[in-house]
Every structure is written in structure tokens, then in C-alpha cells.
Amino acid sequence: MGVPRLDSPDEEIKKWLNHIALICLSEEFQELKKELEQIYRQSEVENYTLAAFVDALYAFVAQEEDNRICQSGTL
């Protein structure tokens, strides 16, 4: 599932938002976010909770995109 464009139909955007919600509720996501929060807090990163959330979500989305590309056989 690629990132929807701004002119995507509402149904496609809803599917994308549901997908993101499922990622954010997953145990793996929560563990990564918590680990990043600890690292960022110790490193005195400004808004460390937000930075950890964004970075964890980006990591999961990027990993899924990489997996999708590998499965399709295109690089």
C-alpha cells in the first residue's frame, strides 16, 4: 500500500489511515516508540515523545514499503 496522493479518493485515504492506526496500535510499534523515547530523552532531544512517534512510524512504513518492493521483485 503506497502513500495516497492528495487527490486520492476518500476510500483510499480511509484505508491508508486505518493501516496507520493498526501500525500505531501494534505491540512492535509501541516497543520501538518507547525505546526511541528513552534514547531521545537521554539525548535531550526537543519534543522527544513526538520525535520518537514520528521516527517509529516512518520506520514501520518504510519497512513495509521495502518488503512490498522486494516481494514484487522490483528495485
Determine the pLDDT at residue 4: 58
- Structural domain tally of the chain? 1
Residue 12: inside a domain: no
Determine the Cα–Cα distance for residues 33 and 54; give it in Å rounded to an integer. 9
Residue 34: inside a domain: yes
What domain range includes position 56? 27-75
Q: Which residues of the chain have pLDDT under 70?
A: 1-8, 74-75
Tell me 26's DSSP state: S
Determine the pLDDT at residue 46: 97
Residue 8: inside a domain: no
Residue 51: inside a domain: yes
Determine the pLDDT at residue 5: 62
